[in-house]
Amino acid sequence: MSNGRFLVLEGVDGAGTTTHTKILVDALKADGIPLKSTREPSDGPIGVMLRQILTGRLVVPTMQGPRAPTWGTMALLFAADRLDHIDAEITPNLMEGVTVLSDRYDYSSVAYQSLTSDAGGASIEWVQELNRHARRPDLTIVLDVPPEVAKRRRGARHGAPDLYDDDALQVRLCTFYKTIEKYYPKDKIVHVNADRDQAVVAAEILKHVRDLGVGRGP
């Protein structure tokens, strides 16, 4: 039995990674592809803790009041969650011949933790080093949207803003994601303009996946 393929969707908050993960799952399932849909932060123990930090349920108590952990602690937690995710979910499924589709992966760490760090560009190298043993996806699809579109979509969500819901940061993330492949010269990364009709975007994503040999021929 051959290994399954490992696919990743990436982008800023509001780019549509979660929506398009669901649409892609439906399309591939209709093709009869054995598929595992997953996400990061994962649903494992460290991922659950990370989601509590992101939503402000878990904080660091300080003399000045509670605050979120620093970027370095976040980078370590995300890296630990990732290796646990790979170990517990990604690798076992791939070895069973199941295609794995992850909503976010280590590109998010390089983008979000480096842009929130106080160590400048040096933090990118360190974050990459933490993730050195993270297996590489067969295909990563980056959804690009202009910051104002992402902001509008985030605004339409219900619930409290999360840790990285900051307009200035999200603008910088949009720029960062546009050329993220320069930090991953060996990865197969494609960009899809996600500021278009949802069905058009979904069709382009599906085409990239089928070009890889997953599902019905092109």
In the complex, least distance from residue 10 CB atom to ligand TMP, rounded to whole angstroms: 9
Smallest distance from ligand TMP to CB 2, Å: 28
- b/e map of 179-198 (b: 16 or more CB within 10 Å)? ebbebbeebebebbebeeee
Residue 201 CA: distances (Å) to CA of 110, 151, 187 = 25, 19, 22
Which 3 state secondary structure label does DSSP give 16?
coil
Q: Considering only residues 21, 93, 99, 108, which one is a binding residue for ligand TMP as defined by CB under 6 A?
A: 108
Question: Is 93 near ligand TMP (CB under 6 A)?
Answer: no
Using rule CB under 6 A, residue 78 touches ligand TMP: yes
Among 26, 28, 23, smallest CA distance to 5 is for 28
How many residues bind ligand TMP, per CB under 6 A? Answer: 12
Q: Interacting stretch for ligand TMP, rule CB under 6 A, among 29-37, 102-110, 132-140, 182-190?
A: 102-110
Element holding 25 (H helix, E strand): helix 17-30
Least CB distance to ligand TMP at residue 120 (A): 17
Residue nearest to ligand TMP (CB): 112
User: 194 — phi, psi (to 5°)?
Assistant: -95, 10
What is the DSSP secondary-structure string of 144-186? Answer: E--HHHHHHHHHTS-S---TT--HHHHHHHHHHHHTGGGG-TT
Q: Cα–Cα distances in Å, from 137 out to 58, 70, 188? A: 31, 28, 8
Task: Please answer whether residues 68 and 58 qualify as being in contact, where contact means their C-beta atoms are separated by less than 8 angstroms.
Answer: no
Residue span 143-182 as binding mask against ligand TMP, x where in contact by CB under 6 A, dash where not? -------------------x-x------------------
Select the span of 29-37, 103-111, 153-161, 174-182 touching ligand TMP (CB under 6 A): 103-111
Among 20, 85, 104, 151, binds ligand TMP (CB under 6 A): 104
User: For ligand TMP, which residue of 4, 11, 16, 41 counts as binding (CB under 6 A)?
Assistant: 41
**Which residues of the chain form contacts with ligand TMP (CB under 6 A)?**
13, 40-41, 54, 78, 104, 108-109, 112-113, 162, 164
